[in-house]
Amino acid sequence: MTKPSDMRAPRAARGGRVLPLAFALATMLCTVSTARGEPGPVVRPVLGPEVLTYDVTVFGAHAGVTTLSASRGKELLYYRATLSSAGLFHSIYPIDNVAVSYIDRETFLPRRYTMETNERGLLVHYHLAFDQEKKRIQRLKWKQPPGRKGVWNDFVVTGYGGVQDMLSSLMYLRSRRLAEDETGIFYGMSGNFVYQIRYRVVDTGNTYTRVGSRSGIAVRAAVRRWDWRKRRPAGPGKGWSREVLLWFSDDDSHMPLSIEVTLFVGAVKIILSKVETP
């Protein structure tokens, strides 16, 4: 496969459809307005280097491993995620995905996003280019089903400023105050669709991780497909998804501690298992 010269990027963070759904719901966040707090970053989260590893479980059984890592350059923050299936789940639905977001260190808005997925032999590459000033997003997608030739297609989203990708939005949320009862409405770009997202801070207290109990802040989030041309909900039912419960550390870093959601396959949990700050 030959990538367009103006969209080249290193290998990037990995998602999926069943396990990754919980991860995606947690990360497809893009701010539009908030009910409380000032707009823009209000705390300065860890800008790297940082490597966080998470266990993924379905019905309590080990099903995969995901990582989030951050490093920084002069102007950009590089946020990378990987997701690989494991155990019995891997034999049923093998996943090996990676994605990278190139985030402006001052605004926490993305400039570029790449994602490569390999799920049961279906290869898909996404490349998003964000022009925040012109409110324009270009999406290029390359898809190759097993045994078939790969195909490029693209589209452009216009009229939406401040849009985040799935990873930059997580870092952006980490920059919020996450104050008691804080709520917000957001847009996110998944690579295929624009989504509208709502979130609310619901609790504080200790939460379990594989590296011990941590003081945290609980946030519930839900998403729905958004018709960006007609500016209204889209898709089957046009309603909100089941809520995802996210826990962030109760400090200025707002480190993601865990994600929980109930899907048709059962209860999916993504729990912090290792922290590295090289």
Residue 259 lies in a domain: yes
- Residue 271 CA, chain-centre distance (Å), reads 15
Residue 140 lies in a domain: no
Residue 148 lies in a domain: no
What pLDDT is stored for residue 271 in this prediction? 97
What pLDDT is stored for residue 11 in this prediction? 34
Q: For residues 144-168, b (16+ Cβ closer than 10 Å) or e, as one string?
A: beeeeeeeeeeeebeebebbbbbbb
For 179-188, what is each residue's pLDDT tens digit? 999 998 878 9
Rg, Å, the chain Cα set: 18
Which one-letter DSSP state was computed for residue 17? S
Domain that holds residue 26: 13-118+162-276
What pLDDT is stored for residue 6 in this prediction? 40
Instruction: Give me the residues of the chain with pLDDT under 50, please.
Output: 2-39
For 27-70, what is each residue's pLDDT tens digit? 433 334 444 444 456 787 777 799 999 999 988 899 999 999 99
> What are the DSSP E strand ranges found in the chain?
31-34, 50-58, 61-72, 76-85, 96-104, 110-119, 122-131, 136-144, 151-158, 183-189, 194-207, 214-227, 232-233, 244-249, 256-263, 266-276
113 within 8 A of 165, measured Cβ to Cβ: yes
125 within 8 A of 119, measured Cβ to Cβ: no
Residue 4 lies in a domain: no
Residue 127 lies in a domain: no
Q: How many domains does the chain have?
A: 1
Residue 189 lies in a domain: yes
What pLDDT is stored for residue 40 in this prediction? 59
For the chain, the distance separating the N- and C-terminal CA atoms, rounded to the nearest angstrom, is 35
Question: For residues 181 and 31, what is the distance between their CA atoms, to the nearest angstrom?
Answer: 17
Question: For residues 93 and 102, what is the distance between their CA atoms, to the nearest angstrom?
Answer: 29
The CATH code of the domain that includes 25 is 2.40.360
Question: For residues 16 and 23, what is the distance between their CA atoms, to the nearest angstrom?
Answer: 9
Question: For residues 257 and 215, what is the distance between their CA atoms, to the nearest angstrom?
Answer: 10
Amino acid identity, residue 70?
A
Residue 123 lies in a domain: no
What pLDDT is stored for residue 190 in this prediction? 87
The alpha helices in 53-203, defined as continuous H runs, are 87-92, 168-174
Question: For residues 61 and 276, what is the distance between their CA atoms, to the nearest angstrom?
Answer: 25
Question: For residues 47 and 50, what is the distance between their CA atoms, to the nearest angstrom?
Answer: 8
**Average pLDDT of the chain to the nearest whole number:** 84
145: tokens are 């089903």
Residue 147 lies in a domain: no
